[in-house]
């Protein structure tokens, strides 16, 4: 059974209108939320072997803040094609992961991240699934157990949503 963690980047700043969207940094709120999600992941034992991350500034900064709390050093791959990727494109990345990886974290953008989480989650706690499907907020984290032994076998509905965590859910 493989585990996939889907994380939407933390809240970004719109203070500098001259910046291209790809280069927008985190806002103060985002810089505060990302390490809280990392601390939650560490406490729950959600430690990835591999991280796939969009090349956008806000996803990189989110990942740095999360990893600073995890106290592990997973392999990290940055992919330009994850920037604003559609769910099907994100799934292509998931299905190409080597099977030696058991637990993967994908850091991306909406709507793709939320749509992929909903598409993969065929089962789970109804309340959490409803929350996730209603809105996948910035720094939202979906913990999905996939009923596959090989990443390439990942298809819609093959996962169980174990948790859906939002920064507002944390102390």
pLDDT for the residue 71: 84
Q: Token pair for residue 78?
A: 């940055």
| Residue 44: partners with Cβ closer than 8 Å, 6 or more residues away | 163
Does 171 score more than 90 pLDDT? no
65-116 pLDDT, tens per residue? 999 999 899 999 999 999 999 999 999 999 999 999 999 999 999 999 999 9
123-162 pLDDT, tens per residue? 998 999 999 999 999 999 999 999 999 999 999 999 999 9
Residue 148 CA to residue 128 CA, distance in Å, equals 22
Contact 133, 110 (CB under 8 A): no
Average pLDDT over residues 15-42: 96
Residues in the chain, overall count: 171
CA distances from 102 to 28, 122, 125, 153 (A): 33, 20, 23, 14
Helices 87-95 and 112-120, packing angle to 10 deg: 60
Residue 144 CA to residue 132 CA, distance in Å, equals 12
Residue 14 CA to residue 120 CA, distance in Å, equals 31
Q: What CATH class has 2-97+110-146+158-169?
A: alpha beta
Question: How are beta strands 141-146 and 103-108 bridged, if at all?
Answer: unpaired
């Amino acid at each position: 059974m493989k585990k996939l963690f889907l994380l939407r980047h933390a809240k970004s700043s719109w203070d500098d209108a001259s910046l291209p969207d790809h280069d927008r940094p985190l806002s103060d709120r985002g810089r505060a939320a990302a390490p809280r999600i990392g601390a939650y992941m560490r406490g729950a034992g959600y430690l990835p072997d591999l991280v796939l991350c969009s090349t956008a500034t806000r996803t990189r900064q989110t990942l740095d803040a999360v990893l600073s709390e995890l106290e592990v050093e997973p392999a990290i791959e940055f992919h330009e094609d994850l920037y604003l990727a559609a769910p099907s494109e994100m799934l292509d990345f998931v299905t190409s992961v080597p099977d030696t990886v058991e637990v993967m974290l994908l850091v991306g953008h909406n709507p793709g991240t939320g749509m992929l989480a909903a598409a993969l989650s065929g089962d789970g706690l109804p309340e959490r699934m409803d929350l996730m499907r209603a809105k996948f907020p910035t720094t939202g984290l979906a913990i999905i157990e996939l009923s596959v032994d090989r990443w390439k076998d990942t298809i819609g509905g093959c996962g169980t949503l174990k948790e859906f965590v939002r920064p507002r859910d944390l102390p």
